[in-house]
Chains A and B, each alone.
Chain A
Amino acid sequence: MKISEISSVLEAEIITGGQNSDLEIYSACGADLMSDVMAFVKENVVLLTGLINPQVVRTAEMMDIKVIVFVRGKTPTQEIIDLANEKGITILTTKYSMFIASGKLYEAGITGRGGCC
């Protein structure tokens, strides 16, 4: 699934980065604990989180995660946006909660099978 499709499924706003528009996303990871995110390695992952701080972007950087979705209408600060732009990471925000956002992506075909969180 492309980022544009994720954006459409979650009725999400794309805050940063058009550079990952060709990236194909196969799996998703929903977590507020960044160490939980780092405990699982998968490729082509979208990270859904309710946590808003620069370490979310750092964690994504270390994990080679190129797409972050902030749930429940949370808006990242300019610091977070700047860091994401610097690292080539796309940020989306959706009004949906973690549970609903995860359900919508699952229903749309991102099932995360194979051991991610």
Chain B
Amino acid sequence: MRDSFLELNYDIPANDFLHAGEASSSVKKMLNQLGVAPDKVKKTAISMYEAEINAVIHANGGEAHIEIWKDKVIIKISDKGPGIPNVELAMQEGYTTAPDHVRDMGFGAGMGLPNIKRYSDELKIDTEIGKGTVVTITVYLKDK
């Protein structure tokens, strides 16, 4: 059983601000039920929520694939959006390409990816212009 994990999959609907975050909410609930330490649950929830919001804002939604292992959570958010032209720039706090209506919703201030980096233990961004982006977030559940 050492290598087993729990797998969860969600659709992230496009342009749906009312329901954006439901996948993250569901994962948070699951981690709490599994008895994961509250600080690790929070790190995971915030990272995933920012990535989920990014997919809604920039890429017409996408898919979330989550693996909950004994010692880590791996979150993969995939979209078929425009891709990120300059990942280094996108990682800078305050850099944004989000339109005004997104800022009116309280997001799009160039803090999404920096926040994901802040709270995750590993962050991998695979992106291709015109094809889409895959953001892979790992949070370790035990202190090293």
A39 to B106, CA, bound (A): 13
A63 interfacial by beta-carbon distance below 8 Å:
yes
Neighbouring B residues of A56 by C-beta, 8 Å? 106
B92 nearest CB across to chain A (Å): 13
Cβ–Cβ contact A62 & B115, under 8 A: no
- Chain B interface residue number, banded: 20 to 34
A35 to B113, CA, bound (A): 10
A58 interfacial by beta-carbon distance below 8 Å:
yes
Using A35-B50, A62-B28 as known contacts, say yes or no to A41 and B106 having CB atoms under 8 A apart: no
A35 to B45, CA, bound (A): 13
Neighbouring A residues of B18 by C-beta, 8 Å? 54, 79
Interface size on A, residues (CB 8 A): 22
Cβ–Cβ contact A62 & B109, under 8 A: no
For chain A residues 32-56, which have a beta carbon within 8 Å of chain B?
32-36, 38-39, 41, 49, 51, 53-56
Cβ–Cβ contact B115 & A35, under 8 A: yes
Closest to A80 in B: B18
A83 nearest CB across to chain B (Å): 9
A40 nearest CB across to chain B (Å): 10
B75 nearest CB across to chain A (Å): 13
Name B106's contact: one of A53, A61, A62, A79 (CB within 8 Å): A53
A28 to B112, CA, bound (A): 22
| A positions within 8 Å CB-CB of B | 32-36, 38-39, 41, 49, 51, 53-56, 58-59, 61-64, 79, 87
